[in-house]
Amino acid sequence: MTTMSIDARGESPADAGQAVVLAERARRLLVGGVIGCHALALPAVLVWAVVDGARGLLSALVGLALVLVFDTIGQAVQIRFAGAAPRVLMRASLLSFGLRASVLGLLVVGWSNLPAESVARVNAMALAVTGGLSVVGWLVGVVLTYRRLRIPIYDEPSDRVYDNVSENASEGGRPA
């Protein structure tokens, strides 16, 4: 059975080889999320462009952009701290999420304080529907990508290649 490379408290950071593999996995999840997000959102953007013209198109694009920025920043934090100790990664992730959620909250407060004629320039339904589809697309893309990732800790050791790093059973499952 393969063993984990962190101590019992979970405070040891990954070694350089593991950090590269972990960052590459996080990058692959980022790409999968972006592809899934676009796959579901772009048809909606086109539908809103046909249904409501330039107003619908721009509103839908804003919804897509909000989701892309929010999720990309979150995944970038995962990539940046991929080799860090688990507690450091958790702190960075929670801080990032808190800041991103706060910015979205401020955008909602700003939106609610706009004059009625400014609010009328945006199709709220296009923004919300496209934003929702973008989130679902991101999640589906990440799940589909995650299904294809090979995580050696859950697999029995073998001579197969995982994430471009050969696993050697005699070295306790650490990358060669």
SS3 175: strand
pLDDT at 66: 95
Q: How confident is the model at residue 5 (pLDDT cuts 50, 70, 90)?
A: very low
Rama region for 66: left / alpha / beta (φ>0; ψ in -120 to 50; rest): alpha
Instruction: Assign 50 a pLDDT band (cuts: 50, 70, 90).
Output: very high
DSSP string, 135-149: HHHHHHHHHHHHHH-
Which pLDDT value is given to residue 157? 60
Q: What is the pLDDT of residues 8-24, one digit of tens each?
A: 455 566 677 788 888 88
**Residue 61 pLDDT class (50, 70, 90 cuts):** very high
pTM of the model: 0.75
Say how many C-beta atoms besides its own lie within 10 A of residue 14's C-beta. 19
What was the pLDDT predicted at 119? 79
Confidence of residue 174 (pLDDT cuts 50, 70, 90): very low
* pLDDT per position as a tens digit, 95-148: 999 999 999 999 989 888 888 888 788 899 999 999 999 999 999 999 999 888
Q: Which of 3-7, 125-129, 158-162 has the highest mean pLDDT?
A: 125-129
Residues across the chain: 176
So what's the pLDDT on residue 112?
84
Centre a 10 Å sphere on the Cβ of residue 130 and count the other Cβ atoms it contains.
29
